[in-house]
């Protein structure tokens, strides 16, 4: 049932606002949805808006409340404030627009006339206009309910197809429930009606509890489906050295001189010549290439070694002791992504520099895998073959892409955020 709760006074402070007057301070709340009706192309449209401010404009004198011996109710009845003539409120509404089934919300930029009636949006109306999918439908993700309505009267249901083909940020203060919200979203993606392929970068080891989905009756499908939860501990995280680029390696090494960087870049180029033949090299191969790149000849043609190679060899041997970078062991896209599987990479015991390089390498290979699969450049036998959309969660994303510091993840994240949608790679 519709309920008129106020009358339009006029426009607000900007062109997207209007103000109405009401005496109903029980249902008029900040964040509540209301609408006014207007004719657009000979069709009546309900222009939805959201209450953003509430101000009392006619009330009892302050002196009445200063003396605790005086009953405000008694004085109010004497000066004419009764249930039939209560306080007046001025309410500001931010216009959203009317809902079009094909276009979504359309803002007509047509303010209401003074005297137009403002109506509280019904639960049924909100369910229709806020949700592209119905509750429980295939491809839906139920993440909660509208707070100002009773119980679960207005569920909030997202469209998974739109979600995994675009990009999302969960932003809020510390302790406000960002990780919980992300966890609810992950559970919905793993439900029998969605069976998504999900990867989580978990720098603090918080998502291991998703294993509780295994065998839980709420996640079992009529065909026997049950989500697979693959939690990989820090010691299980392996990246193939030959999948790193020059700047990845540079990030993992201590500070180097310009000449050392030049020799390393030349050595990487020597190894990179073999890339088309799937040549998989390790640290010792890179050290050998460094010595080759630093080889010099005097005027008489005699060979002599430069001074940079020994210093680089020492630094690279320190990197060789890392348990996360190997010649052959690798987290291939086929292992990380499968429909109905959520893979959690727990990275809480890995240094931040290594976390960034690992993340950059996996994101880069995942993006290339989706792009090359869609362009039919690789076959199903390849470890990079991904014939389905994938979804990636970066928990504590500032660790991987800090605002003011260089990070190996930033370049690949920028590419995914600008182009990943075309290839079915979603990121939150």
pLDDT tens digits, one per residue of 133-171: 889 999 999 999 998 998 889 999 999 888 877 778 999
> 346 and 202 in contact (C-beta within 8 Å)?
yes
Paired tokens of 61: 């004198």
On the question of pLDDT at 63 being above 70, the answer is no
> 95 and 108 in contact (C-beta within 8 Å)?
no
Q: Tell me how far apart the alpha carbons of residues 315 and 251 are, in angstroms, rounded to a whole number.
A: 12
Q: What is the CATH number of domain 3-130?
A: 2.40.30
Is 157-237+331-427 a domain of CATH 1.10.10.10? no
Q: Which pLDDT score, from 0 to 100, does residue 15 have?
A: 82
Q: Tell me how far apart the alpha carbons of residues 346 and 234 are, in angstroms, rounded to a whole number.
A: 6
Two domains, one topology: 3-130 and 157-237+331-427? no
Q: Tell me how far apart the alpha carbons of residues 295 and 415 are, in angstroms, rounded to a whole number.
A: 37
Closest CA to 318 of 353, 272, 361: 353
On the question of pLDDT at 80 being above 60, the answer is no
> 290 and 267 in contact (C-beta within 8 Å)?
yes
Half-sphere exposure for 365 (CA within 13 Å, toward CB): 24
Read off the pLDDT of each residue in 304-310 and give the average, rounded to a whole number: 81
Residue 2 binned pLDDT confidence (cut-offs 50, 70, 90): low
| Residues 184-229 pLDDT 10s | 999 999 999 999 999 999 998 889 888 888 888 889 988 999 999 9
How high is the mean pLDDT of the chain? Answer: 87
> 370 and 421 in contact (C-beta within 8 Å)?
no
3-state secondary structure 27-86: CCCCCCEEEEEEEECCEEEEEEEEEEEEEEEECCCHHHHHCCCCCHHHHHHHHCCECCEC
Question: Percent of the chain beyond pLDDT 90?
Answer: 47
Q: Which pLDDT score, from 0 to 100, does residue 328 have?
A: 85
Helix (H, G, I), strand (E, B) or coil at 329: coil
On the question of pLDDT at 419 being above 80, the answer is yes
Helix (H, G, I), strand (E, B) or coil at 352: helix
On the question of pLDDT at 350 being above 60, the answer is yes
Tell me the domain boundaries of the chain: 3-130, 157-237+331-427, 242-322
Closest CA to 370 of 355, 392, 340: 392
Residue 242 binned pLDDT confidence (cut-offs 50, 70, 90): confident
Kindly report the pTM of this predicted structure: 0.82
């Amino acid at each position: 049932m519709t309920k008129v709760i106020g009358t339009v006074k006029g426009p607000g402070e900007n062109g997207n606002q209007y103000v109405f007057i009401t005496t109903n301070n029980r249902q008029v709340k900040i964040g509540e949805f209301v609408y006014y009706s207007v004719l657009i192309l000979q069709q009546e449209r309900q222009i939805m808006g959201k209450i953003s401010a509430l101000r009392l404009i006619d009330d009892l004198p302050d002196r009445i409340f200063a003396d605790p011996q005086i009953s405000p109710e008694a004085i109010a009845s004497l000066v004419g404030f009764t249930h039939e003539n209560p306080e007046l409120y001025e309410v500001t509404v931010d216009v959203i627009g009317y809902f079009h089934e094909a276009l979504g919300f359309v803002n007509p930029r047509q303010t209401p006339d003074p005297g137009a009636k403002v109506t509280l949006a019904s639960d049924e109306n909100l369910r229709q206009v806020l949700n592209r999918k119905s509750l429980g439908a295939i491809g839906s993700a139920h993440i909660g309910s509208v707070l100002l309505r009773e119980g679960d009267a207005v569920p909030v249901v997202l469209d998974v197809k739109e979600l995994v083909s675009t990009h999302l940020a969960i932003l809020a203060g510390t302790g406000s429930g960002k990780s919980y919200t992300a966890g609810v979203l992950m559970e919905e993606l793993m439900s029998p009606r969605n069976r998504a392929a999900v990867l989580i970068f978990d720098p603090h080891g918080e998502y291991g509890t998703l294993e509780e989905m295994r065998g839980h009756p709420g996640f079992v499908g009529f065909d026997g489906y049950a989500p697979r939860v693959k939690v990989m501990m820090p010691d299980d995280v392996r990246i193939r050295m030959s999948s790193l680029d020059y700047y990845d390696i540079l990030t993992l090494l201590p500070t180097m001189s310009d000449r050392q960087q030049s020799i390393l870049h030349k050595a990487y180029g020597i190894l990179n010549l073999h890339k088309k033949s799937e040549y998989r090299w390790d640290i010792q191969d890179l050290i050998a290439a460094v010595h080759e790149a630093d080889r010099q000849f005097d005027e008489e043609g005699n060979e002599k070694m430069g001074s940079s190679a020994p210093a680089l060899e020492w630094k690279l041997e320190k990197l060789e002791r890392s348990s996360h970078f190997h010649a052959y062991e690798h987290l291939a896209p086929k292992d990380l992504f499968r429909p109905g599987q959520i893979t959690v990479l727990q990275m809480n015991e890995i240094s931040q520099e290594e976390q960034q390089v690992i993340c950059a390498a996996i994101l880069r290979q995942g993006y290339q895998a989706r792009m090359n699969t869609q362009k039919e450049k690789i076959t199903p036998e390849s470890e990079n073959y991904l014939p389905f959309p994938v979804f990636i969660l970066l928990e504590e994303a500032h660790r991987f892409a800090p605002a003011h510091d260089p990070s190996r993840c930033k370049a690949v994240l920028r590419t995914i955020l600008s182009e990943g949608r075309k290839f079915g790679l979603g990121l939150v």
